[in-house]
């Protein structure tokens, strides 16, 4: 079994936590869980991919800006919650 790199694993965990909380707050149907997860993962990837950083000395485990990934994921989740899915 091959080892998974820490950065993708951390991004998946952040996206899963954000999507679960978003579904708890705004979800109405089961299929929205997958939609919220995809949107949250896209937000995390976007923050990680462009190297978004706030000007604070925050730790970035495995090179993942956790605060920024969570913030971008929630911005996209708030937009996605308004869509009819």
The pTM of the full predicted model, rounded to 2 decimals, is 0.88
Check whether 74 has a pLDDT greater than 80: yes
Nearest to 41 by CA among 63, 17, 12, 6: 12
Check whether 83 has a pLDDT greater than 90: no
Q: What is the mean pLDDT of residues 13-42?
A: 95
Q: Name the pLDDT band for 41 (thresholds 50, 70, 90).
A: very high
SS3 65: coil
Q: What is the mean pLDDT of residues 66-71?
A: 95
């Amino acid at each position: 079994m091959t080892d998974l790199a820490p950065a993708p694993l951390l991004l998946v965990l952040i996206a899963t936590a954000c999507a679960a909380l978003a579904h708890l707050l705004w979800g109405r149907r089961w299929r929205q869980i997958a939609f919220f997860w995809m949107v949250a993962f896209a937000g995390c990837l976007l923050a990680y991919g462009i190297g978004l950083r706030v000007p604070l000395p925050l730790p970035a485990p495995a090179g993942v800006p956790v605060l920024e990934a969570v913030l971008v994921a929630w911005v996209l989740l708030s937009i996605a919650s308004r869509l009819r899915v």
